[in-house]
Amino acid sequence: MKMMFRWFGPKNDPISLAHIRHIPGVEGVVWALHDIPVGEVWPLDTLLEVKKVVERHGFTVDVVESVNVHEDIKLGLTSRKTFIDHYKRTIENLGKLGVKVICYNFMPVFDWTRTDLFKHLPDGSTAMFYEKAIINNIKPSELITMVSQQAHFSLPGWELERLDYLSDIFRAYEGITEDDLWENLRFFLEEIIPVAAENDIKMAIHPDDPPWPIFGLPRIVTSQNNIRQLLNLVKSDYNGVTLCSGSLGINPSNDVPAMIREFAGRIPFAHIRNVKVFENGDFIETSHRSQDGSIDIYEVVKAYHDIGFTGYVRPDHGRHIWGESGRPGYGLYDRGLGIMYLWGIWDSLNRLREKEHLS
């Protein structure tokens, strides 16, 4: 597997490339142009500057996360053609950099959602927390007020400057069903996958987080059956999945190792993280160690090892430890520890395989 580390760029990330360089086995950074509004073309000259900076530190720019999908595409509006054309041009520009994977998602309105970004754990560290009752009991009208006050929870897929349009977006989604969303995703993929193939870039959709509807909005990439349906929309090796153990593992009925084995040839990118799921549906993110959460990370890594995984992987969200502050879920220290835990499992599995061959 090719180990990567997410980096938000010199303007948006307190972690430097020099810091990341200290973590053994990291080949590249997972990056994006976070200052470009959704739906606009990523300019080639800006992309070339990023590539120059990253490669100067000995890293690759092989994986981009995310090229976000404009809401008009998800809604299936007539204006989607313009934004799909912009998306194609961005794919072409990224192809000129040698990018190999684009991670994206098709979650309506919001990206991953939590109710507390710095929930204290018993050991004094903090982690992102989801309280199901809060999300379930919020009406859209109340949500707008709470987001504007930055109260109770964070919605990282929604920039505060777009709050004026939040009511309009909710109205636009009234009557949009899961079937509608599937059809709009199919249209999008049929348009972009041929361009991705021409540029040798694999598109890798990220599962919905959490993997169930929120605020009355449909979510469709939530389970093994959903991923199977997604991969059948366009039968191409360039239509793949970012298999995220944390997002999918929040639902105890999802068997992540089984998904890895079934979709082996269609996982160009993997996120590995752990969560502790409580009986009432709440969950909190933990260290990567299997014993600390509800997901058996050993079995997850073993599944990748069993299929001979050669794609890209990164430690996903981590805790904040040792007094670190900054972007929630994306501290340096715990993700660095996570990488070493993943390598420890991987190296042990390699050693076991060597012994089996010798015996």
- Residue type for position 233: L
Q: Respond yes or no on whether the N-terminal peptide bond of residue 252 is cis (omega within 30° of 0).
A: no
- Residues 6 or more apart whose CB falls under 8 angstroms from that of 319 comprise 121, 125, 126, 127, 285, 286, 287, 331, 334
Consecutive H or E run containing 5: strand 2-6
Nearest 10 degrees: Cα torsion 197, 205, 155, 222: 160
- Residue type for position 212: W
pLDDT of residue 57: 96
Assigned fold of 2-358: TIM Barrel (3.20.20)
330 is catalytic: yes
Task: Choose, from 62, 208, 209, 244, the residue flagged as catalytic.
Answer: 244
Q: What confidence tens digit (pLDDT) does each residue in 9-48 have?
A: 988 888 999 999 999 999 999 999 998 999 999 999 999 9
Beta bridge partners of 130: 283
What are the C-alpha distances in Å from 193 to residues 91, 105, 238, 322?
A: 10, 15, 6, 44
Task: Choose, from 130, 316, 320, 341, the residue flagged as catalytic.
Answer: 316
57 is catalytic: no
In contact, 287 and 337? CB cutoff 8 Å: yes
* CB neighbourhood size of 22 (10 A): 9
Burial of residue 19, with CB atoms counted within 10 A of its CB: 0-12 exposed, 13-18 middle, 19 or more buried: middle
Q: Is residue 111 pLDDT above 80, yes or no?
A: yes
For 206-245, where are the E strands, in sequence order? 239-244
What is the C-alpha separation between 234 and 239, in angstroms, rounded? Answer: 7
pLDDT of residue 346: 98
pLDDT of residue 112: 87
pLDDT of residue 152: 47
What's the mean pLDDT in 214-241?
96
How does the average pLDDT of the chain come out, rounded? 92
Of 303, 315, 304, the closest CA to residue 272 belongs to 315
Q: What is the DSSP string of 126-146?
A: EEEEE-HHHHHT--HHHHHHH
- Quickly state the pLDDT bin for 216 (edges 50, 70, 90): confident
Q: Which residue has the tokens 């190296």?
A: 347
Consecutive H or E run containing 198: helix 178-198
- Residues 6 or more apart whose CB falls under 8 angstroms from that of 53 comprise 10, 17
Q: Respond yes or no on whether the N-terminal peptide bond of residue 66 is cis (omega within 30° of 0).
A: yes
How many residues are given for the chain?
359
- Residue type for position 199: N
317 is catalytic: yes
For residue 157, the SS3 value is coil
* CB neighbourhood size of 293 (10 A): 22
What is the C-alpha separation between 222 and 237, in angstroms, rounded? Answer: 21
Task: Choose, from 206, 288, 305, 320, the residue flagged as catalytic.
Answer: 206
271 is catalytic: yes
116 is catalytic: no
Task: Choose, from 271, 288, 305, 320, the residue flagged as catalytic.
Answer: 271
Task: Choose, from 288, 305, 317, 320, the residue flagged as catalytic.
Answer: 317
Task: Choose, from 305, 330, 334, 341, the residue flagged as catalytic.
Answer: 330
What is the C-alpha separation between 254 and 124, in angstroms, rounded? Answer: 30
Q: Which residue has the tokens 């449909």?
A: 218
Whole-number percent of the chain with pLDDT over 90: 80
- Tokens linked to 70: 């404009």
pLDDT of residue 208: 96
- Tokens linked to 147: 């987001």
Whole-prediction pTM value?
0.94
Q: What confidence tens digit (pLDDT) does each residue in 142-173 have?
A: 776 666 665 444 555 455 555 567 778 888 99
What's the mean pLDDT in 312-330?
93
What's the mean pLDDT in 37-66?
96
Question: What angle separates helix 166-173 from helix 140-148, to the nearest 10 degrees?
Answer: 150
- Tokens linked to 348: 């042990």
320 is catalytic: no
pLDDT of residue 10: 85
Tally the C-alpha atoms within 13 A of residue 210's C-alpha that lie toward its C-beta.
Answer: 24
